[in-house]
Amino acid sequence: MTAKIIDGKAAAAEVRARVAGIAAEFARTTGRQPGLATVLVGEDPASAVYVRSKGKATSEAGMASFSHKLPDTTSETELLHLVDQLNRDDNVDGILVQLPLPPQIDASRVIAAIDPAKDVDGFHPMNAGRLATGLEALVPCTPYGCLYLLKQELGSIAGKEAVVIGRSNIVGKPMALLLIGESATVTVAHSRTRDLPDVVRRADIVVAAVGRPEMVKSDWIKPGATVIDVGINRVPTEDSKSRLVGDVDFAGASERAGAITPVPGGVGPMTIAMLLRNTVVAAHRRAG
Ligand code: GUN
């Protein structure tokens, strides 16, 4: 079987176009654009690229983008002060503090200081708890994007066997909760899981979010399964350049899967699309 390649760029473009329409309507009725504030602490080049593309996508969707850059010597108190200002700013509907933060700053304290109504990352314990209990929540963007692709591909996922590889607060755990919410039968595998290949072989749906290049091998994939690859790993090539690969051996897995996301061009674009979506949702809820 040769898998269908799931086009995350196209799906993200659709979501972004819908969000732009909602943002325009919000601006027409309220007299202001929905606004997203991004906060980047330090000089990490990958984080800088992510934050810049989030800001660009925000403007392209007709929303206000407020970009805050702080030096890597910033103290936790200084960052908490900025978060407090953004919490109070009525033109800011969403606040995104890019992770990771420098070691002198406790990320969990900063996340907890963000107004849950503006927590467009969905990382605040209030939103995590609301997602876990099935209440209306702001949902973390990457797993939300994965769920969007799965539902687009499969329609209903009720009763399907889903295996999530990875248990992070950003992807694995909220992904599992979203799949439970769709009535899938969910297994969360991680570095201590025994017989991981056999666990993955059961899965109608595989979501790989471990950050290890091409760790998931093709013979682990049940024929016809839907494979969502969250990994973005830069690996060196022979000509001393580098290329991006996912957590799944794409070449092999695409011979067995029913459908699979590529890296790049799969989950990545969906993360930004869902961030924009969360921002218009937060703006609407805040505007009452
Ligand atoms: N770092 C890596 N992924 C993310 C994300 O989705 N949000 C934030 N704030 N930081 C990240």
Residue range 16-33, pLDDT digits in tens: 999 999 999 999 999 999
Q: Are 108 and 128 in contact (CB under 8 A)?
A: no
pLDDT of residue 275 exceeding 90: yes
119 lines ligand 1 (CB under 6 A): no
Is 232 assigned to a binding site?
yes
| Residue 240 zone, left/alpha/beta (φ > 0; ψ -120 to 50; rest) | left
164-177 pLDDT per residue, tens: 999 999 999 999 99
Mean per-residue pLDDT, 201-209: 98
CA distance 268 to 9: 8
Give the domain ranges of the chain: 31-115, 141-268
Is 260 assigned to a binding site?
no
105-133 pLDDT per residue, tens: 999 999 999 999 999 999 999 999 999 99
**Confidence band of 1 (pLDDT split at 50, 70, 90):** confident
**Same fold across 31-115 and 141-268:** yes
Q: Which fold has domain 141-268?
A: Rossmann fold (3.40.50)
Q: Looking at residue 32, what is its pLDDT?
A: 98
**Confidence band of 189 (pLDDT split at 50, 70, 90):** very high
Q: Looking at residue 288, what is its pLDDT?
A: 83
Q: Looking at residue 43, what is its pLDDT?
A: 94
Share of residues in the chain with pLDDT > 70 (%): 100
Q: Tokens standing for 169? A: 């607060």
The DSSP output letter for 227 is E
Alpha-carbon radius of gyration of the chain: 19
Selected from 3.40.50.10860, 1.10.3470.10, 3.40.1010.20, 2.40.10.10, the CATH number assigned to the domain covering 31-115 reads: 3.40.50.10860
Q: Which residue has the tokens 């969906």?
A: 270
By most ligand atoms within 8 Å of CB, the mutation choice from 99, 111, 175, 271 for ligand 1 is 99
**Confidence band of 38 (pLDDT split at 50, 70, 90):** very high
131-160 pLDDT per residue, tens: 999 999 999 999 999 999 999 999 999 999
Pick the residue whose CA is nearest to atom 11 on ligand 1.
99
Mean per-residue pLDDT, 178-193: 98
What is the atom index within ligand 1 of the atom nearest the CA of 275?
Answer: 6
CA distance 66 to 86: 10
What is the atom index within ligand 1 of the atom nearest the CA of 140?
Answer: 6
Q: Looking at residue 179, what is its pLDDT?
A: 98
Q: Amino acid letter at 261?
A: T
217-266 pLDDT per residue, tens: 999 999 999 999 999 999 999 999 999 999 999 999 999 999 999 999 99
